[in-house]
Structure 1
Amino acid sequence: MRDFLVEITTKVPQGVSAEEVERRRAAETVRARELATAGRLFRLWRPVGDTRSVGIWRAEDEEQLRTDVLGTLPLWPWMTAVVTPLEPHPNDPGTPA
């Protein structure tokens, strides 16, 4: 499994009802929990004063990440994602010696 830094911006299209947005957001919460339990969503942050999300996600490769992980999010059709594959750094204090 590989780690990816993913920056997500969500833009709701014009004309979408508030009810549809709320329905998808509620479903998004459920799906994010499922992905966390499955080990696919590791951490998620929101920069202060911003609506973007920045997170560490896990998948075998970027194609699987976009299709089988991010692609299952109810808000995905309204999202753009910048995906950066990560590799261990030799000075990472979280890496066992």
Structure 2
Amino acid sequence: MKEYLVELTTAVPEDADPAEVDRRRAAEAVRAGELAAAGHLVRLWRPVGELRSIGLWRAADEAELYEKVLGTLPLWPWMTPTVTAVRPHPNDPGCVV
């Protein structure tokens, strides 16, 4: 699987029903757990004081990442992604290339 650094910024529409937002957020947590168990979501961070996330994700290719991984997130319709394909660096202390 290839690895991707993904930044997700979520903008909930102002006219969104609060109950729908709560439902999607709860479902998002469940789906993230499923994607982690399947090996797609490796790590997830939230920058301090910001409403965005940065994660390390795995997928066979970018098409799978968008269609079968990120696109299945309940909050996806409200998300703006920035995706960067990454590979191990020869000087990464945690990796032998």
TM range (shorter): over 0.9
Identity %: 64
Unaligned runs of 5+ in 2: none
The offset of 1:8, in angstroms, is 0.2
Which amino acid in 2 is paired with 1:68? Answer: K
Q: Give structure 1 regions of 4+ aligned residues with deviation exceeding 6 angstroms.
A: none
Unaligned runs of 5+ in 1: none
Which amino acid in 2 is paired with 1:17? Answer: D
The separation in 2 between residues aligned to 1:14 and 1:96, in whole angstroms, is 47
SS state at 2:88 partner:
coil
The offset of 1:15, in angstroms, is 1.1
SS state at 1:82 partner:
strand
Q: Which residue of structure 1 aligns with residue 62 of structure 2?
A: 62
The offset of 1:14, in angstroms, is 2.2
SS state at 1:28 partner:
helix
User: Please, which moves more after superposition, 23-32 or 8-17?
Assistant: 8-17
Matched, 1:46 2:43: no
Matched, 1:19 2:28: no
Count residues with an aligned counterpart: 97
Q: After superposition, what is the alpha-carbon deviation per residue over 1:49-85, rounded to whole angstroms, capped at 9, x for unaligned? A: 1011000000011111011000000000000000000
The separation in 2 between residues aligned to 1:6 and 1:96, in whole angstroms, is 23
CA RMSD of aligned residues (A): 0.9
SS state at 1:94 partner:
coil
The separation in 2 between residues aligned to 1:48 and 1:86, in whole angstroms, is 23
